[in-house]
Structure 1
Amino acid sequence: MNGDISQLLPLLGYMAFMIGISFYVRHQQQSGLMNNFVKTYFIGNRDLGGFVLAMTTVATYSSVSSFVGGPGVAWNVGFGWVYMAVVQVTAVFLVLGIFGKRVALLASKFNAVTVVDIIRHRYKSDLLAEISAFIIVLFFCATMVAQFVGGAKLFEAVTGYSYVTGLILFGAMVVVYTTIGGFRAVAITDTCCAIMMMIGIMMLVYFVLQAGGGYDSIVAHLETNRPDMLEPLSGGKMPYGLYLTQWILVGICTIALPQSVVRGLAFRNNKSLVRAMLIGTFVVGFMNIGVNLTGILGQGVMTGAPADYGGTDSIIPRIVVTAMPATLASIAIIGPLSASISTISSLLLVGSSAIIKDIYLHRQERKG
């Protein structure tokens, strides 16, 4: 399929807007960068308000798998996948509630700028800190590759431009705005990403319902052809063991991810923290339930077997192309691509802080 420039323009405009934000933030923080570069660049001088803190935490937590892989499985499995995935609604509340205040207190006590800083001072071990930094960089590289691949495939499926073009665009844009603006630019662009995610979900739900003949028609189709999709255990595809392990892995273990925990170093005050917990819980719930429900509703549009569409990871891109007008599809795709972009930028920032601040600058300080 050949690309149409009209389908690419909304995405290019959005990318230009993101880069513009980074230049604006850089200009606004110029004095702070001159006086305390590390603190200003890596944690935004601890000045995030509640709304931005909530949205950057949500955007960082959400990834391309949240908008492509998960809904694709929901399309094949049914409501059982939604019941399992709903545990993610607690993620932001737990991240900020369990780690937010505690991490902030430790950061203040140790004058820490990164999570590795806290580990170094808390356990008084440079070796443990450097091992932690190495692990962060190692696994973040693998995670970023997955985000780039997923985003580029989605880009190719919807716009018609090549996979390589998507990789180049994402790579250049994310590296540029993260490098220029630092943590505060990432937080503000994450906020834009989270808003675009919600807009994309609402657009997709509307057109999927329209293409499928409405909610009642889609449910009637499921009752007749796929009644297992209406059951919590999905005809054996969602056993109790999977519920338990996924709730532990996705609902509990992910709250300790460094890219999320670092948000606890950056909020302005307790009021901002509490506000972020409330807003973030609502937003992540809306996105998580909405996007997985959209996958199920997609059965009204894509009625074949997974193999007919190239596997479950191809379902959402196919639904977008099938159910939506081409021009609107190019706008709606910004939502799931934003999930990829926001995750990559946060991983880049935490990974770079591990190399520059936690290893290189610390060693220079010791030599000095």
Structure 2
Amino acid sequence: MSVSNPTLITFVIYIAAMVLIGLMAYRSTNNLSDYILGGRSLGSVVTALSAGASDMSGWLLMGLPGAIYMSGLSESWIAVGLIAGAYLNWLFVAGRLRVQTEHNGDALTLPDYFSSRFEDKSGLLRIISAVVILVFFTIYCASGIVAGARLFESTFGMSYETALWAGAAATIAYTFIGGFLAVSWTDTVQATLMIFALILTPIIVLLATGGVDTTFLAIEAKDPTNFDMLKNTTFIGVISLMGWGLGYFGQPHILARFMAADSVKSIAKARRISMTWMILCLGGTVAVGFFGIAYFSAHPEVAGPVTENPERVFIELAKILFNPWVAGVLLSAILAAVMSTLSCQLLVCSSALTEDFYKTFLRKSASQVELVWVGRAMVLLVALIAIAMAANPENRVLGLVSYAWAGFGAAFGPVVLISVIWKGMTRNGALAGILVGATTVIVWKHFSLLGLYEIIPGFIFASLAIYFVSKMGAPTAGMVERFDAAEKDYNLNK
């Protein structure tokens, strides 16, 4: 690997820019609210792009294109489910959660919100929800580190072990330094880079394979069933892929963007920007994997790395088809996808440890400066655990993400969704929802029941548990009063 390698230089410039943004954010971080939620100051553009970028991790440019390359359009049901889920999350949860967290003790984290919303004096709801965040997010962080390692490994010929540390170092640096503002500002840059890469790459692949007609003929010649949306799928298979959309209601790193918006008025504009960005990115991702079938069937001499690991299809197309400087920018988009999500996850884990354990149970009187530095220390701790989990080079990005996504979607999704639309929900209902959702995902995954993605039974059973357990009791007058005040505030300002 030569130091003059244009791709390496591009990567170094990109990483340096992200760390510089972290240093700028450091100057605006004065207390724990700034470090965890940016002082609730995000405008609609940053809210939209930050929510999108934090959602679309390394699987957007690696896991999903690889699945499409292997199986054809039948894998694109996942994109349909995600678009529907994200839209409903923006529509029903975003604005209401922004207002409800403000009316419930100005909550900074999901466990903090649950604790205040349901007047949980025991601390049990806070502890259990924080534990769920730490367990599933550490797995999720590991998936991001695996994706970053794969990128550095295939781009620079590093060993997997070296690539593991190289891929994680920059993200840890700017998250550690700048907290939420650094993460949100860098997300906006990274979202722009990702959409540029995912619009440009499929167009160039089409041109390289001779245009739309030639490309489609080549894909059909390789395997006519590549066009079949129902190829090798069953009703349960399609429902499982569509079920990914349910996960949006419970993802703490996405919900944090809603909580950090400067006002409810910003949400509607943010929804339009975010959904446009998401549809274009997912369309580009599907196109990269699909058109890649035509390109590599026409050029089998360069198909070796993709045959060995289909998740490298975007990486290989960028390296083969573009000038090294442009390839460096495109490959930085993968790094952007990885860094944007990993940084959010590290920050949410850090906030759970700092706000929900350290401040609540160990140091109630801790100063804001102390809490910010504890938060930074927790970023390092979680990152090191995730790196250890990612050490197995056989890890696949999509597999790790699917388990963590299901865990959050089932444990938190029904609780968050129902808590912002139904005043009759109780503390015991919330507790039952989290426990039933998380347990169902773990058990269902272990036994692979019916071949159904574990998020679906987890979401259904958790929702039923919330309803029936809540009906066994009743919310307090204070809970109903705060809910009504928040709902009135939302309807006046949306």
Q: Are 1:117 and 2:112 an aligned pair?
A: yes
Q: Which residue of 2 aligns with 1:211?
A: 208
TM value normalised by structure 1: 0.91
Secondary structure in 2 matching 1:205? helix
- State the partner residue of 2:329: 331
Show the 5 A alignment for 1:223-302: 223-234=220-231, 236=232, 238-248=233-243, 250-302=244-296
Cα distance in 1 between the residues matched to 2:156 and 2:200:
17
Deviates more, 1:10-19 or 1:77-86: 77-86
Match for residue 202 of structure 1 among 175, 199, 202: 199
Corresponding residue for residue 174 of structure 1: 171
CA distance change for structure 1 residues 84 and 144 in 2, over 3 Å: closer, same or farther? closer
Deviations along 1:45-75, one digit per CA (max 9) or x if unpaired, are 1111000000010001101112111111111
Taking structure 2 as the reference length, the TM-score comes to: 0.69
Q: Which residue of 1 aligns with 2:91?
A: 97
Q: Paired residue for 2:465?
A: none
Percent sequence identity over matched residues?
27
Return the alpha-carbon distance in structure 2 between the equivalents of residues 111 and 43 of structure 1. Answer: 11
Kindly report which structure 2 residues correspond to 1:157-196, keeping only aligned pairs within 5 A, or say none. Answer: 157-196=154-193
| CA deviation vs aligned residue, 1:187-226 (integer Å, no higher than 9, x gap) | 1100111111011112321321122222211101123331
Contact 1:88 1:251 in 2 (8 A): yes
d(CA) in 2 for partners of 1:298 and 1:99? 37
Closer, same or farther in 2 for the Cα pair 1:176/1:225, shift >3 Å? closer
Cα offset, 1:3, TM superposition: 7.7
* Structure 1 residues 350 and 226: CA distance shift in structure 2, 3 A: same
- 149, 160, 172: which is aligned to 2:146? 149
Count how many residue pairs are aligned between Structure 1 and Structure 2: 359
* Structure of larger gyration radius: 2
CA contact (8 A) 1:18 1:177 kept: yes
User: For residues 229-276 of structure 1, what are the alpha-carbon distances to aligned partners after superposition, in whole Å with 9 as ceiling and x for unaligned?
Assistant: 112212x2x33321112212x112233111111112100112211111
The reply to whether residue 353 of structure 1 matches residue 348 of structure 2 is: no
Is the alpha carbon distance of 1:141 and 1:181 closer, same or farther for their aligned partners in structure 2, counting shifts above 3 Å? same
Task: Tell me the equivalent position of 1:340.
Answer: 338
For residues 367 and 267 of structure 1, what CA distance do their matches in structure 2 show? 28
8 Å Cα contact 1:158/1:330 also seen in 2: no
The 8 Å contact of residues 38 and 180 in structure 2, kept in 1 or not, is answered as yes
More deviation in 112-121 or 297-306? 297-306
* Partner in structure 1 of residue 19 of structure 2: 19
Structure 2 letter corresponding to 1:323 = L
Instruction: Identify the residue that residue 58 of structure 2 maps to in structure 1.
Output: 64
Equivalent pair of 1:306/1:312 in contact (CA under 8 Å): no
Shift of 1:85: 1.8
3-state DSSP class of the match of 1:78?
A: helix
What is the CA–CA distance in structure 1 between the aligned matches of 2:60 and 2:255, rounded to whole Å?
19
Q: Take 1:52 and 1:307, find their aligned partners in 2: how far apart are those partners?
A: 37
Q: 2:306, 2:312 within 8 Å by CA — same for their partners in 1?
A: no
Note if contact 2:199-2:280 (Cα within 8 Å) is conserved in structure 1.
Answer: no
Q: d(CA) in 2 for partners of 1:281 and 1:327? A: 30
CA-CA distance at 1:146 after TM superposition: 1.4
Asked if residue 314 in structure 1 is aligned to residue 312 in structure 2, the reply is yes
Indicate conservation of the 8 Å contact 2:209/2:295, yes or no: yes
1:69-84 maps to which residues of 2 (within 5 A)?
69-84=63-78
Q: Which has the higher contact order (CA 8 A, sep 6+)?
A: 1
2:47 match: 53
Shift in Å at residue 306 of structure 1? 8.9
Distance 1:58 1:308, change over 3 A: closer
Q: Deviations over 1:135-188 (max 9, x none)?
A: 211221111111111121122212334434433333221111112111111111
Q: Deviations over 1:316-341 (max 9, x none)?
A: 32333333333322211111221111
Kept after mapping to 2: 8 A contact 1:201/1:287? yes
Shift of 1:367: 7.6
Whether the 8 Å contact between 2:306 and 2:316 is mirrored in structure 1 is no
Give the Cα–Cα distance (whole angstroms) in 2 for the partners of residues 151 and 343 of structure 1: 11
Query: Would you say the 8 A contact 1:95–1:255 is kept in 2?
Result: yes
**8 Å CA contact 1:205, 1:294 repeated in 2:** yes
